[in-house]
Every structure is written in structure tokens, then in C-alpha cells.
Structure 1
Amino acid sequence: MTRLKENGFVYAKAKIAPWANLFNEPLYPSNYRRVLFSCLLDFYTSWKETLDKEFDSYYLKIWLSFPKFIDSQIVCAIGERIPYYNDIFESCDPQPDFPISAFRNEELRIKRFNWTTYYDYDYYSESDYLNLNPDRFLSPEDFYAEKRFYKKLLKDNVPYKMIPDTEERLFYKQRGYIWVGELIK
């Protein structure tokens, strides 16, 4: 609560070692994914009980990333931060079905939530690739892999947006979806 009141937001991610390694994020074993999702639902319930006692309005939602579950989290915001979180994702149409088969153990609790689906993107700033310095890489292979990746972004015509007040492109590549869930009132 202290952090929430100081910052206007707080979150809890579904990341545990060794799957949350900064440089290598292999998929969770399916059972871990189920257990962690159950924990997110438990956290949500606990946080909601506390927030209901403290605040008249707040943002509290589960962000379920799938298939990249490792980025799933619970997010809470208050005050001026609420509009930011309400508008953070790009909606998708049509809405894909919730990946219920991956979380059958929680089917009853999942149905108690209203789920809205959004696109989940990886973002790549063009400036990260324009002036690559081989001395900053652990190996020549890593350096050339980055160069090839940038060329592939261009060749594949990956969509981009211009970064405001610059001439720089920000590429965005869909990696899945994010289901944003809120308990039905």
C-alpha cells in the first residue's frame, strides 16, 4: 500500500527463476504456468479486498500474456495513473478466445472475470540497430545476429511508428495477445 500510494501504481509479475532470466526466457513448463496463474488469481482477490477498504476507485486487472505467459502480471493504479493504464494497449478485433485449455484448473474462476483481448507486441527502436558497435558484443556472432535481425525487420516490412519529435522508427511485431481481466461486479 505504501508503494501504491507513493507511486500511484504497483504490479506483481509472474516471473520466477530460472525462467525469468534477463537474456533467456524459455517457456514455463505447463504445470508451472497453471500454478502461477492460480497465484495471480489469488493475489488479485487479496489485493481487491484491501483496495475496496482503502479506495473508492482504482484500476486492478490481471494482464495475461499468451503464449508468452512469462510477462503476465497483476496491475493496480490509483488517481491520475488510472487513465494511463486504461489506454495502454491496442485493442484487437475480432476478439480471440481466451486460452482456456492452458488453464483448465481455474476454469470456474476464469469465468468470474470479464476478459478483453489486446495485441501483444515486441518493440524495436531503430537507433539500437543503426550504429551497432562490434566491441559492445560478447562475440562476433552476436553482433552479426543483431545486424541480420534488423535487416529482417526491414525485409519483412514489419510495421513501425515514428517516435515523436524524431526521425526514428519504432518497429512493432506481434508476439501474441494480452487478455486483460477484471472481476465481474
Structure 2
Amino acid sequence: MRYRKIRGHRKKWKRIDDWVESNKDLDINYLKTVQRSYCKIWVAPWYSIPITNSAVPQPNGVTKAKMLEGLLTIHDSWKQTLNELGQPYYLKIWLYEPRFFLSQVVCSIGDMQHFYNQTFYKPTINKAFPLVNYGKLADTLANFDWEHCWDEDFLTDSDLGSQDSWGMTTEEFASHKSWFTSELKKTHRLTRINTAYNNQINSYAFKKGDVYIGGIP
């Protein structure tokens, strides 16, 4: 696949600096209200692309390093604020590879403190965190405890739906059903999930990479 070239890196670096500055102060009033918060890498063009759009290259080199430094800065600032609350909290960096642009800082408190514990599938065979891949930031990242999970995309039976539920023509739904069927031919992990209507539907998880969950012990 031919990737679309990302130009204007110095402008991107300025946007990264602006993103860090705008997000390093945790909105404690919002957190107390909803008991959870997160900060994704909101830097153009990556924040605006579909997750499945592999034609846009992942950030790398200096750009990726600056983004990771930004996540660490936000994490450290949030940690200081959370420590001042004087109550237990969840604070982690979710570091995705290779879909790095999905990486984020996540926190929760109170009744939602353990909300994120079941977010990712944890394989029986774990990968060690690849510190060697992070250059000058390796020493800082070594201070975290890292847990290996899978980065997955999901489909459910609801994504198939019916012709009436989607408001499609017969031809449109036939094409949609063909796409859904072809997706299920790919390697996936099948689970059953409960719905709000007290029944169960199939969930199909497609592994896209790894996600490392890191927190300061």
C-alpha cells in the first residue's frame, strides 16, 4: 500500500507542544463529576483519521518521540494533581504499537477507579515491554510497570443488523452483508456479550497489534 506522505513536521511539532500545554492540567472538577478522564493524542492529521485507515503512516522519529514525551508530561502532571486528592486512583499510559496514534493517558477515581481494568484482552503469553525501541526515553519508561494486552478492533452481530434497521435497499444490504461475512473470515476472537435487552450477541475481536498499560508502582 502506498502511504500518504505527512509534510510540515515542524508545524506538527508546534501542534504537539500546544496539545501538551492544553492538556497537562487535569480538570479536577470534571473528574470529580464523572470520576474518569483521558487524553488522546489530539494532533492533526492523526486525530482526524479513521482507525482503519492504514494509508496514513504512523508517527515516527522525532514526531513520535515528542508525542511520547507529551504523554509522559501529561501523566506526571496528572499524577501530581491526583496525589493531592488524597484518595486511591487509576492512572496509566496506554501505549499502542504499531497504532501509536491511539496512545493516551487515562485516569479514574471513586466508583469508577476499576472501570478500565477489563478494557483489553490479556493474552496467556505476554510480550515484554520493548524498551529498546524508545531511545532516550527508555530510562524514563523503565520506571513504569508495563502490562501487555492486545489492541483489537471489534464487530458484533449488531453491526450486521438487518435491511430495515439500516434503512438500506436490497442491493445495499447485500453488499453490506457480503462485507460483514468477508470480515468474519479473518482470524478473530469470539466472545458472547450481554446487551441492555437481557440477551446475548456475538462479539468478534480482530487483533491489530499490542497495547502496553504502564503505571508508576
Question: Shorter chain as normaliser: what TM range?
Answer: 0.7 to 0.9
Measure how far apart 1:151 and its partner are: 1.6
Q: Which runs of 5+ in 2 are unaligned?
A: 1-27
Q: CA RMSD in A?
A: 2.4
Q: Is the 8 A contact 1:34 1:102 kept in 2?
A: no
Cross-structure match for 2:181: 151
Distance 2:211 2:177 in 1: 29
Post-superposition offset of 1:74: 0.6
Tell me if the contact between 1:30 and 1:102 (Cα under 8 Å) persists in the aligned partners: no
Say whether 1:35 aligns with 2:62. Answer: no
Question: Is 1:59 aligned with 2:69?
Answer: no
Alignment partner of 2:156 out of 118, 125, 128: 125
- How has the CA–CA distance of structure 1 residues 35 and 157 changed in structure 2, closer, same or farther, with 3 Å as cutoff? closer
Structure 1 unaligned spans of 5+ = none
Structure 2 equivalent of residue 5 of structure 1:
32
Q: Which amino acid aligns with 2:39?
A: A
Question: In percent, how many aligned pairs have the same letter?
Answer: 27
Whether the 8 Å contact between 1:92 and 1:118 is mirrored in structure 2 is yes
Count of aligned pairs between the two proteins: 178
Matches within 5 A, 1:26-175: 26-31=56-61, 32-131=63-162, 144=175, 146-156=176-186, 158-164=188-194, 165-175=198-208
Distance 2:181 2:133 in 1: 35
Runs of 4+ in 1 over 6 A off after TM superposition: none
Tell me the TM-score normalized by structure 2. Answer: 0.72
* C-alpha separation in 1, matches of 2:145 and 2:59: 26
